Structure 1
Amino acid sequence: MIVRLNNTTTSAIAREIDELHVERGEAAQGRVLTLVIITDGPHLETALETINSASREHPCRVIAMVTDAEGHTTAEPGPEESAPARQIDPDDECISYKATEHGGEHTLDAEIRFGSDAGAGEVVVLKPVTALLDHSDALVIPLLVPDAPLVVWWPGNPPQDPSKDPIGAMATSRITDVMGSDDRQAAFASLLEHSGAEDVDLSWTRTTIWRALLASMVDQPPHLPITSARVTGQSHYLPLELLASWLALKLHVPVSVERDPEARAITGVYFERSDGTMSMERHKTDQARINQPGQASQAISMPLRTAVDCMSEELGRLDPDEVYQDVIRQGWPMVDHNSQDQP
């Protein structure tokens, strides 16, 4: 179910949510966190589809802030969406401008989604005029789930410094995704400069399975010293660069990166030891193969991680990722990240 509120206020949105909970016999107390998505209109539905799936493991209230809503006309409700468009109540305590200040145009439109349109929670889509984006924190505060962590996700272009963003400054956890930005190299260079303890990028989360399997593989006997490592994979792919940086930090050996424009994601990691090469490879399938000197090759299932997989992991771990911070601060300079090939 989708309820649309046109030219509305934050207090009116909060009241509507409460009324819908009462009508449906639900309670918001079961929400474990509030997730704010900051995105543009073209990428809104893709981001919401991802969160709708991820929220089934982590019930949450989702607030989607559309950053380019000004000038876009809100569609009229369909037959199943019969709620009338709300108007600004002069008695409301609200975060909005009077419609007359913008020539009668909408200043804040919203959608409230429940049921099959909202995963295991409710979704509030805010579509403010550009001037209101400077006060985005004030727009969000009345809609937060009380006493619950606040997570902010930028699925596209992140701010230069997420901690200085009005909403990001309030967050328990800040999630970016450089792979979804228009300029990956510039975006990650900025994140490297400004990253704080509450920050993590989904490029790092995409390497979780690789890191777990590689750690297990290295831990197997005969425990011979590793003298060097090589990582291969897709060009302009930040997870490849982060995995190499993690290996350099943990193994304290030279780590090289081989980039292939034809590759799809990370394709292999190779460790050099005195008895030969130990490797884990994945090529064009969802299956990886572990090769150890003097042993038979082993095949293991290793599908590419989806955005749903990555967001589910991050929503389930809201404490600072200290390993990620160590990798980007200490491990990243230990690897030659050729500027023309990365991220």
Structure 2
Amino acid sequence: MDTQQNTALTRALTEVPGPLPTSGVIHITLQHTDRFTVVGNHLAQHPDLSCTAVGLAVRIQSLPQGTEVSIKALTARCQEGERRIAAALRELEAHGYLQRFRHRLPGQKVITRTVFCNQPAALLRPRSQAPVAAPAQAPIPAPARSQTHVPGPGPEPDPAPVRPVPPAPPVPTGTSAPEAPVPPPPPPAPPFVPPPTAPKPPRPPLPQPGTLTPELDRAATALLSDLRRHAPQFTLSEGDIRHLAPAVATWLERDAHPDTIRRTLTDDLPRPLRHPVKLLKHRLTALLPPPLPGACDLAAPARPRVVVTPFQTCDDCDRAFRSPDPGHCRDCRETREHRGEDVRVAA
């Protein structure tokens, strides 16, 4: 039997423009009307990316905004395993197509943000050199004709060139002046994404205790060595334990309970955890509690004492007046001073 021929393929080959090549690939290009993604040749023909990385980049670029693209999520969507997908993501991250960074949410929860750029080379160019599409020219409307104008049978002659006149003459009744074309609004600026080679701010130093006593150092070392019983990811070396022990001693110096420190360091871990020592450094520095207040700090502030001046009875007129000591009222004092008599004045 002869080989079965595909009638549709044969018909499509006859519609390819130009002579068909004698070897190599033959493209049958059909126009997409829906469900398509534009991919640049800089990605499709990238000389340094593997085919797995190129295919994974096309898959990520075709997903809607907000779709999870973690290693676990991509493994569930693709046929490749976690190792190949992780290696492909590292390739895309090294060439600037993919960027991953940590973001802290309210409530001390840390999440990983993933940003995919379809043209990473365009981010490195200055904004002035970026190609900007020329705005479309709006059609200039023809000048309106008078409502009483009746066109003649022949073609209208070309209008004479108009010379500029300082004041514009008023528009007569029954005609409408041509409106000036409104330029289209400028295109919105693309969101700024820092390039992968941008310098990162220096990390804050690890906290240090006021006095590293042997008891604090021994307790901090034991707590770090015991972390692997609760989380196997934190199997630390002796050098890492000696480096992190002063920071844990600072927590203990501020009266933090060892169970509280252990839960803070091991709860809500990212998956997968690639750098356990860096995570411990970050949590020991960013989540360091303040020192406990003393008894004097917790005492309520003393209220100011209000001194009330008591009432006294005047020795002459029995009138009541305020004074710390008994004596005469103001009127009686003035009368006695006028007579030249002795006056008992309250201190």
Q: TM-score range by the shorter chain?
A: under 0.3
Q: TM-score, normalised by structure 1?
A: 0.20
Q: Which has the higher strand share?
A: 1
The structure whose Rg is larger is 2
Q: Which protein, 1 or 2, shows the higher relative CO under an 8 Å CA cutoff with sep ≥ 6?
A: 1
Q: TM-score, normalised by structure 2?
A: 0.20
